[in-house]
Structure 1
Amino acid sequence: MPRVDSVITATQERRLARGAARGDRRALRVLYEEYSEQLFAVAYRLTESSAEAQDVLHDVFCRLPAAVQSFDGKRPLGPWLRAVTVRAALKHLRSPRRRREIPIVSIPHERRTGESPELSVLDSITAERALSSLPEELRIVVVLKEIEGYSHAEIGELLQISRSTSEGRLYTARKLLHSELLR
């Protein structure tokens, strides 16, 4: 989702993508300013580490001039950049040189009317701990499906697994999350 104060049209996106493909620093800066926040959030949810998410974001933007050459301009740039970031984060997760840190971010949680802010924070912490307790292959499917909104077909493509495997992992993850949250 682009920033609220931003109004980049599809034509401007295509022009920025062409500029980025040529290595135009201005175009890269505009794309970074426009999308870095949401791309960082995607990377963070997958890696559970701000340092690793920064590494992923850095890799995405360093490789963007080459990668954007495959952008066809027929669909919005934001979702394409999210998919590039997901692939970069998954590659990073498989790297033997990964950094490790204790996750402290909370899953976005909308407070219900009358609910105290303290309860909302506690719910978020509990949900984050439950999510972090999942095996990585299950946690990634939950993040991509439930938080990022990808379909099982898209998740299958990104993870190079079948749609039914994605569905099965989500089912298993939900069962584990349910039992973890009932503790």
Structure 2
Amino acid sequence: MIASSRERRLARRAAQGDRDALRELYEEYSEDLFAVAYRLTESSADARDVLHDVFSRLPKALRRFDRKRSLGPWLRAVTTRAALVRLRAERRRREVSVQDESLFGARRTPSVIDSIAFERALASLPEKLRTVIILKELQGYSHKEIGDLLGIPPSTSRGRLHTARAALRDALRDG
């Protein structure tokens, strides 16, 4: 992670349109943000598009960014919202992605949690359950934050998480 003073400096420069600062932010955060987008969209092509959307709009978004906050979690929230918007748009168009690439592309080595069995089990969950478990367990959001992001009460987030965990356990046990 970037040191906070450097992070604030880069965010300020990127907000002013400095391409070098934007590139540095991309180099620092793109792998993590791609992973968030991929897990939500289940498509590397869509995840790349989400990442492109996030970074192409980032200079303008950074003008509204509260620099007292940490940039990484904020970027993950922005990416999550962009991925969810994309999913909703895809659902409305009823297009089916035929892209089936590896989880992180060639640049990142998968960790234990990124195992094939886990990813398949995660992908088998309905979108509402998958989204909550990704945001809570893999991204560390609180139920209140998840509720704010998804427009649901925190209690609904808790319920979906409970259901998602049970479904994951069953899928991993059966798989």
Q: Which residue of 1 aligns with 2:41?
A: 47
Larger radius of gyration: 1
TM-score (norm 2): 0.86
1:33: Cα distance to partner? 1.1
- Higher helix fraction: Structure 1 or Structure 2? 2
Offset of residue 108 of structure 1: 3.6
In the aligned structure 2, how far is the partner of 1:171 from the partner of 1:103? 29
Q: 1:78-157, aligned counterparts within 5 Å?
A: 78-96=72-90, 100=97, 101-102=99-100, 104-105=102-103, 108-109=111-112, 124-157=115-148
Count how many residue pairs are aligned between Structure 1 and Structure 2: 165
Q: Distance in 2 between matches of 1:173 and 1:108?
A: 21
Percent of aligned pairs with the same residue? 63
**2:44–2:100 CA contact under 8 A, matched in 1:** no
- Gap runs ≥5 in structure 1: 3-7, 111-120
Q: CA RMSD in A?
A: 2.0
CA distance in 2, matches of 1:11, 1:176: 42
Q: Which amino acid aligns with 1:65?
A: P
* 8 Å Cα contact 1:134-1:173 kept in structure 2: yes
Higher relative contact order (CA 8 A, sep 6+): 2
- 1:75-134 Cα shifts (integer Å, max 9, x gaps): 211111111111111111111356613364397416xxxxxxxxxx9xx22222211111
State yes or no: 1:10 paired with 2:8: no
For 2:33 and 2:172, how far apart are their aligned partners in 1? 28
Is the 2:54–2:79 contact (alpha carbons within 8 Å) kept by the matching residues of 1?
A: yes
How far does the alpha carbon of each residue in 1:127-183 deviate from its partner, in whole angstroms, 9 at most, with x for none? Answer: 222111110010011111111111111111111111000001011112222222232
Q: Is 1:62 the equivalent of 2:62?
A: no
TM-score of the aligned structures, taking structure 1 as reference length: 0.82
- Equivalent residue, structure 2, for 1:117: none
Q: 1:41, 1:178 → 2: CA distance?
A: 22
Look up the match of 2:24.
30
> How far, CA to CA, are the matches of 2:102 and 2:34 in structure 1?
15
Q: Is the contact made by 1:48 and 1:103 (CA closer than 8 Å) also made in structure 2?
A: no
Counterpart in 2 of 1:118?
none
